Structure 1
Amino acid sequence: MDPSAAAPNGDVYQQSIKAHLKLRGKLSLSLKDDPDTKEKLSLFYTPGVAAVSRLIAEQPDKLNDYSWTNNLVAVVSDGSAVLGLGDIGPKAAMPVMEGKAMLFKHFADIDAVPIVLNAHSADQIVNAVKAIAPSFGAINLEDIAAPKCFEIEERLKDQLDIPVFHDDQHGTAVVVLAGLINAAKVVNKDLKRCRVVVVGAGAAGTAIIKLLNVYGVKQITALDSQGIIGPGRRGLSPEKRALLDLTRPVDHLGGLDRALDGADIFIGVSRPNLLNTEYIKLMNPRSIVFALANPQPEIEPDLAFRAGVAVLATGRSDYPNQVNNALAFPGIFRGALDNGVKRITDDHKLAAAGALAAMVKRPAAGRIIPSLFETSLVKTIAAVIK
């Protein structure tokens, strides 16, 4: 595939290829001390290290005290749902996993190791992650396609005693909720009473719906490529049938026009140019649109504002209000590792979203989400993960 064909800015893609070739990988291992004397070599390796191994054998819960597992995350993918590229396989996923590890280190000073698996079924991936889990303090699942990502995460959460977090689901949901909390303030609406339309019922869309439901938003309509997910639909997967308990469709059947009629909020995790001005005009006044498809959103900002949208968010860094998972996951993992959290719960996600939203003291249409580069970001979120 020609990388320049995957996004509107081919220059960025060509520059990225050159930068990656120059670095030959974005990560390297650094030492906290050097085994540069006979005494140090005896301490850090043989014979001294035997005492540490014996101690951990007798007290396994001491592993974090005597190894880097206290600050180490595995970034695990099978390459089945990478960015907007789809199922490109584990080798092609490696640069993305390296990038994720880079963000862990830069923003939260967390050591992260990218691990791409030549494994394809839920059983294979679960077994592989369980086998390597003793080496890590937490597991970040990344770019694993739905619906198997749901099963993989739940099984690993049940079977491991370290945090397991599928960022494509929950990192997205946390940042979306934070943005919606502030967007609702801007348009002077009660978020819990808003009618919300979510287009896209994959990993991100499902997690958004679940977290909004936990927050207290009850009027949610979900759509996939076939239209409204309602009781009248046949052939729904088990995952989509489960959404029926969390949503309140405006009609059992219908398309986006039916769903948006009288809606307050549109959230798209679907495909470019799905939304047009006529659809937006069906929405209630002071509408909120989160057009999160990448690299092209469901609607371009100028068209959205021309149609009357009051607050717009996208997944892009060159527009205001970027919904970026990096706003959430470094702080969530920092807090989990520092505070001995074994399982990241809905309460943690709600707390993270609330903390993120509260960082914007005076929400405005062009600022409902804090900057990724605010120095207190990670510390603020980490403080509520306990």
Structure 2
Amino acid sequence: VLGLGNVGPLAGKPVMEGKALLFKRFADIDAFDIEVQARDAGHLIDVVAAIAPGFGGINLEDIAAPVCFEVEETLQAMLDIPVFHDDQHGTAVIVAAALQNALELQGKELGRIKVAIVGAGAAGIAIARMLRALGVADIFLSDLHGVLHSGRRDLTQWHKPFAVAPQDWDLAAMLRGADVVIGVSVRGAIPEAALPMLAPKPVIFALANPDPEIDPAVARRLRPDAIIATGRSDMPNQVNNVLGFPFLFRGALDCRARQINQPMLLAAVDMLARLAREPVPDAVQAAYGLTATQGLAFGPEYIIPKPLDPRLRQRVSGAVTVAARESGVARR
């Protein structure tokens, strides 16, 4: 469980209940939280497969890497309904949308940047996959044992596609010259000393909750030319999965999609990025106690829509449904 660790299914139940509430509140989806005391990946797969006929889709939550990859991929191959691990793909969708807008503001292009991802678990791997699909070639990841490189013998099959050539890599070398730093790790994982090494006009996403990988105030002081996002609601540019998972499932359920595939994820990325560049409705400004003249507008402190934006349901879900039909996974 984010910020708490492996607390078990009973202690994690309130988190799952909250997730079900968000499905209903934002996308009018009736969701049921089911906590499983699983012995291993195979046991969890068997449980989910057994109950799947009663549901239109399965949202996997708080399953640690690398088990989460095996569970999701196996269930996707077995079932004819969407199976979606939000910690992976929901995070990747929101990060990718926010990053596209941040790069536009910084005058940079996806195909010509260096990206350093601090954290190589479920979210880190999914973000790397998404960015590669969008055309980013220069991607580096690190975990507790250092940078992922082909000389390491502890890499899983999901890590290996992102292993760089074996060199004397450390975190400082990975961050040096990076245009984008994405933290999906723990507090303090991005050292202050590394910030001056970043490329000019960097993008820094410090997404650990409740405490980011680096204090945003410190990052702004050391790099006033940076665009910064966090996972916190009390700071600008909150990267929040609630911008994604309700509308991905709404779009999938509306057309009875067999799965949530890459074209559907990319459609959500594109629509989220586009919405942030459009004028913000007065109702959204008012919901956050702001006005049109002093409130939200596309810029360094507004690169991704706010969760209470009513346009999200129609626009993002609609784009996902269109992508499902065009990619051949919709049944109506």
Normalising to structure 2: TM-score of the pair? 0.88
Matches within 5 A, 1:95-174: 95-174=14-93
Aligned to 1:304: 219
Q: Does 1:376 align with 2:314?
A: no
Whole-Å Cα distance in 1 between the matches of residues 30 and 75 of structure 2?
21
Q: 2:139 aligns with which of 212, 220, 231?
A: 220
Letter in 1 for 2:274: A
Q: 2:2 aligns with which of 66, 72, 83?
A: 83
Q: 2:194 aligns with which of 261, 279, 286?
A: 279
Letter in 2 for 1:86: G
What per-residue deviation string (whole Å, max 9, x for no partner) do you get for residues 310-363 of structure 1?
200001101100110000001100000001211111111111111001001263
Q: Does 1:190 align with 2:106?
A: no
Q: Does 1:240 align with 2:159?
A: yes
Whole-Å Cα distance in 1 between the matches of residues 161 and 179 of structure 2?
24
SS in 1 for 2:150: coil
Whole-Å Cα distance in 1 between the matches of residues 270 and 112 of structure 2?
18
Whole-Å Cα distance in 1 between the matches of residues 214 and 25 of structure 2?
32
In the alignment, structure 1 segments of 5+ residues that lack a partner are 1-81
Whole-Å Cα distance in 2 between the matches of residues 333 and 215 of structure 1?
22
**CA positional deviation for 1:274:** 2.0
Letter in 2 for 1:217: V
Aligned to 1:203: 122
Q: 2:299 aligns with which of 364, 373, 377?
A: 364
Whole-Å Cα distance in 1 between the matches of residues 216 and 192 of structure 2?
11
Contact conserved, 1:230 with 1:253, CA < 8 A, in 2? no
**CA positional deviation for 1:232:** 2.2
What per-residue deviation string (whole Å, max 9, x for no partner) do you get for residues 91-137 of structure 1?
11110000000000000000000000111311101100011001100
Contact conserved, 2:186 with 2:212, CA < 8 A, in 1? yes
Which has the bigger relative contact order, CA under 8 A and spacing at least 6?
2
Q: 2:173 aligns with which of 250, 258, 263?
A: 258
Matches within 5 A, 1:37-76: none
Q: Does 1:354 align with 2:246?
A: no
Contact conserved, 2:111 with 2:136, CA < 8 A, in 1? yes
Whole-Å Cα distance in 1 between the matches of residues 175 and 51 of structure 2?
46
Contact conserved, 2:60 with 2:86, CA < 8 A, in 1? yes
Whole-Å Cα distance in 1 between the matches of residues 204 and 149 of structure 2?
22
**CA positional deviation for 1:273:** 1.7
Contact conserved, 2:204 with 2:228, CA < 8 A, in 1? yes
**CA positional deviation for 1:278:** 2.0
SS in 2 for 1:233: coil
- Indicate the structure (1 or 2) with the bigger Cα radius of gyration: 1
Whole-Å Cα distance in 2 between the matches of residues 128 and 382 of structure 1?
29
What per-residue deviation string (whole Å, max 9, x for no partner) do you get for residues 211-240 of structure 1?
100111000011111111112223323332
Letter in 2 for 1:291: A
Whole-Å Cα distance in 2 between the matches of residues 145 and 224 of structure 1?
14
What per-residue deviation string (whole Å, max 9, x for no partner) do you get for residues 286-306 of structure 1?
010000111100111111111
Aligned to 1:267: 182
Whole-Å Cα distance in 1 between the matches of residues 312 and 173 of structure 2?
39
Whole-Å Cα distance in 1 between the matches of residues 107 and 61 of structure 2?
36
Aligned to 2:246: 330
What per-residue deviation string (whole Å, max 9, x for no partner) do you get for residues 148-173 of structure 1?
11000001000001000000000000
Contact conserved, 2:118 with 2:190, CA < 8 A, in 1? no
Contact conserved, 1:228 with 1:253, CA < 8 A, in 2? no
Normalising to structure 1: TM-score of the pair? 0.76
Q: Which 4+ runs in 1 deviate beyond 4 A?
A: none
Whole-Å Cα distance in 1 between the matches of residues 113 and 12 of structure 2?
38
Contact conserved, 1:229 with 1:253, CA < 8 A, in 2? no
Whole-Å Cα distance in 1 between the matches of residues 157 and 311 of structure 2?
41
Count of aligned pairs: 301
Whole-Å Cα distance in 2 between the matches of residues 294 and 374 of structure 1?
23
What per-residue deviation string (whole Å, max 9, x for no partner) do you get for residues 158-212 of structure 1?
0001000000000000000000000001101012211000011100001000010
Q: Percent identity?
A: 49
